[in-house]
């Protein structure tokens, strides 16, 4: 889904030309050489190999964590945790593909309020953010479950 939406954005949007969808939401093609939400995008170029290696390492870790959970009797039924890790893993791989092949990530979702524009992002960033939120929720639910025992 991430790669498909990036391809559609590149085929149908002009670089830095906003297409208003509704107030507070634009589609705007941008390229990001940094991390999520344009972090380190102005660095001198060292960030490409750094983020490729980091993303690869994180993806491998998440894959094996997910595999370990599916083999763990106590956690294999924890669908929230599996969904959280899967979203983060999918998002990491989506941006890793861009970064490894093109040296930059394609962003096209732009959210704003009044004159404040949040950094542009993509479906992979959304999956990572949603997955991180679900991971935090799962941790809170696990603490509550442990307190109830």
Distance in angstroms (rounded) separating the CA atoms of residues 74 and 68: 11
| Residue 2 appears among annotated catalytic residues | no
Question: Burial level of 15, CB count in 10 A (0-12/13-18/19+)?
Answer: exposed
- Count of beta carbons in the 10 Å neighbourhood of residue 51: 23
3-state helix, strand, coil in the chain (%, to 5): 60, 15, 25
| Residue 77 appears among annotated catalytic residues | no
Q: Which residues are catalytic?
A: 107, 125
């Amino acid at each position: 889904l991430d790669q498909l939406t990036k391809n559609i954005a590149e085929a149908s949007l002009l670089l830095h030309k906003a297409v208003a969808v509704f107030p507070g939401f634009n589609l705007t093609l941008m390229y990001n050489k940094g991390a999520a939400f344009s972090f380190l995008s102005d660095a001198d170029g060292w960030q490409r190999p750094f983020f490729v290696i980091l993303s690869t390492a994180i993806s491998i870790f998440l894959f094996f964590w997910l595999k370990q959970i599916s083999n763990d009797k106590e956690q294999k039924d924890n669908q929230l945790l599996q969904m959280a890790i899967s979203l983060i893993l999918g998002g990491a791989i989506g941006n890793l593909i861009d970064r490894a092949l093109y040296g930059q990530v394609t962003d096209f979702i732009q959210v704003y309020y009044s004159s404040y524009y949040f950094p542009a992002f993509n479906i992979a960033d959304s999956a990572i953010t949603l997955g991180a939120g679900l991971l935090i929720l799962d941790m809170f639910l696990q603490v509550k479950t442990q307190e109830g025992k």
